[in-house]
Amino acid sequence: MNVRAHKSKQLALDRCLQLLEEAQVRGQSRVDGPLGVALRQYLERAGVIVEHRLEGRRIDRVLDDVFGMQAQLLGQEPEDSRHHNGA
């Protein structure tokens, strides 16, 4: 993968994390319709095909998935996001 494609994927995953963290700050615990659509668009930009609905999933679980995707992209072992946010 070239550097430009790698950076583009990383930025798309970063934006997913930002959207999810903003939703948590607003007190949202599950992905709603508008958040699901936005996440799906950024995940597609990152080259991830979303095979199941995001809507209704717990935000903390989706965060774990995105952290795992980032780790894979960076060639690292995936971590559980609960280590990051103290849950």
Residue 9 domain-assigned?
yes
**Could you tell me if residue 85 is inside a domain?**
no
For 45-68, write each residue's pLDDT tens digit: 998 888 888 999 999 999 999 999
Distance CA 5, CA 26 (A): 32
- Residue 12 within a domain: yes
The reply to whether 11 falls in a domain is yes
pLDDT tens readout for residues 74-84: 887 666 544 45
Classify residue 44: in a domain, yes or no.
yes
Q: How far apart are CA 11 and CA 50, in angstroms?
A: 18
Mean pLDDT within 11-24: 96
Residues in the chain: 87
87 located within any domain: no
Residue 51: the pLDDT is 81
86 in a domain, yes or no? no
- Write out the residue range of the structural domain in which residue 8 sits: 3-76
For residues 26-45, average pLDDT: 96
Question: How large is the average pLDDT for residues 32-44?
Answer: 95
- Asked if residue 67 belongs to a domain, the reply is yes
Domain count, the chain: 1
